[in-house]
Amino acid sequence: MVVRVALDIALGREFDYLVPPQWEAQVEVGTRVRVPFGARELLGVVTELVPQSDQPGLKAIRKVIGAQSLVTPKVLDLARWIAGYYCCPLEIALKSVLPDAVRKEEDGWRERLHVTRLQRPGEAPKLTARQEEVYRIVEEWGDLPLQELLRLAETTSSTVRKLEDLGLLRIAAKVSERDPHASDVLVASRPLALNEEQQGALSQITAAMDVAMAKEAGLPGVVEPPAAQAPGSTASQTFLLHGVTGSGKTEVYLQAMAYALERGRGAIVLVPEIALTPQTVERFKSRFSSGPLQTLVAVLHSHLSAGERHDEWHKIRQGRARIVIGARSAVFAPVEPLGLIVVDEEHEHSYKQEESPRYHARDVAVVRGQREGAVVVLGSATPSLESYHNAIRKKYRLVSLPNRATEMKLPVVRIVDMRQEQSRGGGPPPLFSNRLVEAITQRLERGEQTMLFLNRRGYSTSLQCKKCGYVAGCPNCSVSLTYHRNAQKLLCHICGHEERVPTKCPGPECGDPAIRFSGAGTERVEDTLTRRFPKARIRRMDSDTLQRKDDFRTVLNDFRTGKIDILVGTQMIAKGLHFPNVTLVGIIHADLSLHLPDFRAGERTFQLLTQVSGRAGRGDVEGEVIVQSFTPFHPAIQFARRHDFLGFYDQETEFREQLGYPPFSRVALLTLRGRNEDKVKFGADHLRKWLDERVASWPGTIIAGPAPAPLARAENYFRYQIMLRSPRMTRLSRDLATLTETLTLPDDLRLTVDIDPTSLL
């Protein structure tokens, strides 16, 4: 038997190998194998069983890994689609499909050495700093695989053995299964009686599931979708569930998932990484893991240790967990047979992977659903323009939930014109308007909670000299350095470069001591707040304050149990959180995202304001949202104030159509980078010529650039971009794939191709 194998290193092609007779029964498409390659041995995935190979002198595979193939043929197909559409080698696509923790494993569950913490004996031996550090990691995790510990602590096994000799640790082989939520206490939840709108949504979804399942089973009498539908239509099975925050979308998902389970099918729920809080997970677990359905719920997200990830994944592959909840890459979870994929907050940009393969999990979900006969539900209070457009054109089925599920009303949104605040005193604008200060005071008096939102961390965003105009910039990137007061450092948010804070202007021949900080970040909000409300219990939540594994959970718990009055944060606090006692949400600087050099700036601002507002008034008391803005009449802000998605959609699509931007075209963004700017520029011009010869003649295709990217320099690389817009992407991405294979660029230039980019930086 001969098999075709995609190796783990990206070579852009597959290789044939012989399978010795004793392994023939074990090897199938998707099996992981170890094979000889030159002088080395490499791991790879079997992608095809071939009757005969025309490659001479075939070598034999060395080892078959695991008792079960890891990539199912269906998921392998999906990886092929990703490689084709997003212009990357199959090996790279397979890398995303199979989590690292699973790929790297060679021997499965057995023979895995675990390190467990033992109690420190009364007379604790004195440890070296290094030993202390290793011990502390074990202490934090309680129990972890030896390999994982060596990686985390960057140490050798002899250090760990030494700690074992001292009686502080135990190293032992273990077949244990790690459950990241083992300590959770779950209270079984029962389905709620749906209101009429929810019921309508659910019955359409379940009816579509019936049709999809019958079709898969090849039953007669199933009506094919009419041929007249738009090409690429998935309206037999993709839904856009547009429901305001709190309209009960999640309850609809839960009941649709239960329907799939009862019919022997599994379901995947995708949630933005940031919204994958313990609260969210609990909501799903308490419905499915206890009570009548009794199914394991697997959770996949980046905060799991490699070991936990490995075990969760195998629970799914073995068919023991049929419900999966996870972030972006959970779209590849090997659930079989699959009945339903839910993509919650489908408009979220974090569904797009910012490295190769640059796939969009929402779009992959739609494709996967189509191929596997699963129904796909995209849910959002602020759908992406792309998805809503697809719904209007009947590619997706639109279902709306225009009202909140409970009695609570949508919050009142008040816009404060910060230009007025500014002119009153004459000086620079205050961080908090009078209106916001009054509103916070009121909440403190009434014992209600407040959330303050500013999507920028650090203390101030730039350090500038008034006298000579010097701005402290990053030496490696074209951005200014952010001042972090607690850390007493200037930091680059792109490359991490740090500097000491100067006490006088470092500008040439200046040295003025009156150098000043401008532009506020969350650290400054917290600081100003503490001075203004000395008695209030204030906490900040952004990536600077969350250092340890449990911080996120602890802060949210403290907030829920009323130990915090005011929570200050970045977008981290904007998503999916549900706190009944929050009656005030303040948005410090609503215009921040409006001025990004991106045609989606307005859409992003609208989405962000609506999402943040949705955090207010989720309990009995009506909520209030105060939006501080310097451009209060901008449509994105005004439509968000009125909770008017349709108004926003109409106005925004008009502008997009005029300029030929998505959803009226598809975009491919080519970025060329290198250390020498002239070379990058020259390479980009060459690229443009290549494109002009091949692509430009296509009807409707527009090529713009090359031009310096909005982020013109990052980590010492100059960046130039060319943007292509085309009515149809499939053909364009095929051509771009040829491009990446055939175009020869100087060694020190790197080209990335981003299909359907969400970030234009």
Q: Which residues bind ligand ADP (CB under 6 A)?
A: 192-195, 198, 243, 245-251, 405-406
CB of 481: closest distance to Zn ion in angstroms?
8
Decide the pairing of beta strands 489-491 and 498-499. Answer: antiparallel
Give the nearer residue to Zn ion in terms of CB position, either 377 or 492. Answer: 492
Give the nearer residue to Zn ion in terms of CB position, either 367 or 492. Answer: 492
CB of 286: closest distance to ligand ADP in angstroms?
12
Stretch that binds Zn ion, among 310-318, 428-436, 447-455, 471-479 (CB under 5 A): 471-479
Rama region for 671: left / alpha / beta (φ>0; ψ in -120 to 50; rest) = beta
358 binds, among ligand ADP, Zn ion, none (CB under 5 to 8 A by kind): none
CA 150-103-154 angle, 5° bins: 15
CB of 205: closest distance to ligand ADP in angstroms?
15
Question: What's the rounded Cα separation, in Å, for the pair 204 and 210?
Answer: 10
Under rule CB under 5 A, which residues in 242-261 are in contact with Zn ion? none
What are the residue ranges of helices labelled H in 670-758?
677-694, 729-742
One of 233, 476, 651, 740 touching Zn ion (CB under 5 A) = 476
CB of 381: closest distance to ligand ADP in angstroms?
7
Backbone CA torsion sign across 160, 161, 167, 173? positive
The 10 Å Cβ neighbour count of residue 232 is 11
497 binds, among Zn ion, ligand ADP, none (CB under 5 to 8 A by kind): Zn ion
State how far the alpha carbon of 543 is from the alpha carbons of 78, 167, 533, 549, 551, in Å.
34, 36, 24, 12, 10
**Residue carrying the six token digits 């290549």:** 690
494 binds, among Zn ion, ligand ADP, none (CB under 5 to 8 A by kind): Zn ion
476 binds, among Zn ion, ligand ADP, none (CB under 5 to 8 A by kind): Zn ion
CB of 712: closest distance to Zn ion in angstroms?
12
Q: Does position 495 bind Zn ion by CB under 5 A? A: yes
406 binds, among Zn ion, ligand ADP, none (CB under 5 to 8 A by kind): ligand ADP
339 binds, among Zn ion, ligand ADP, none (CB under 5 to 8 A by kind): none
C-alpha closest to that of 143 among 103, 174, 105: 174
The residues that bridge with 296 in the sheet, in sequence order, are 321
What is the SS3 assignment for 524-536? HHHHHHHHHCCCC
Question: What's the rounded Cα separation, in Å, for the pair 236 and 347?
Answer: 21
CB of 153: closest distance to ligand ADP in angstroms?
41
Structure tokens at 546: 């969350």
Give the nearer residue to ligand ADP in terms of CB position, either 72 or 380. Answer: 380
One of 492, 541, 594, 691 touching Zn ion (CB under 5 A) = 492
One of 80, 215, 497, 578 touching Zn ion (CB under 5 A) = 497
Question: What's the rounded Cα separation, in Å, for the pair 545 and 199?
Answer: 42
455 binds, among ligand ADP, Zn ion, none (CB under 5 to 8 A by kind): none
623 binds, among ligand ADP, Zn ion, none (CB under 5 to 8 A by kind): none
Question: What's the rounded Cα separation, in Å, for the pair 467 and 706?
Answer: 36
Give the nearer residue to ligand ADP in terms of CB position, either 244 or 760. Answer: 244
* β strands within 475-514, DSSP E: 482-484, 489-491, 498-499
Phi, psi of 564 (to 5 degrees): -130, 135
C-alpha closest to that of 449 among 569, 329, 307, 343: 569
Q: Does position 477 bind Zn ion by CB under 5 A? A: yes
Binding residues for Zn ion, total number by CB under 5 A: 7
Question: What's the rounded Cα separation, in Å, for the pair 569 and 414?
Answer: 20
192 binds, among Zn ion, ligand ADP, none (CB under 5 to 8 A by kind): ligand ADP
Give the nearer residue to ligand ADP in terms of CB position, either 464 or 571. Answer: 571
Question: What's the rounded Cα separation, in Å, for the pair 457 and 439?
Answer: 24
* Amino acid at the residue 172: A
250 binds, among Zn ion, ligand ADP, none (CB under 5 to 8 A by kind): ligand ADP
Q: Does position 481 bind Zn ion by CB under 5 A? A: no
Question: What's the rounded Cα separation, in Å, for the pair 482 and 543?
Answer: 14
One of 11, 186, 494, 536 touching Zn ion (CB under 5 A) = 494
Give the nearer residue to ligand ADP in terms of CB position, either 246 or 369. Answer: 246
Evaluate whether 752 touches 680 at the Cβ level (below 8 Å).
Answer: no
Contact footprint for Zn ion (CB under 5 A): 474, 476-477, 492, 494-495, 497
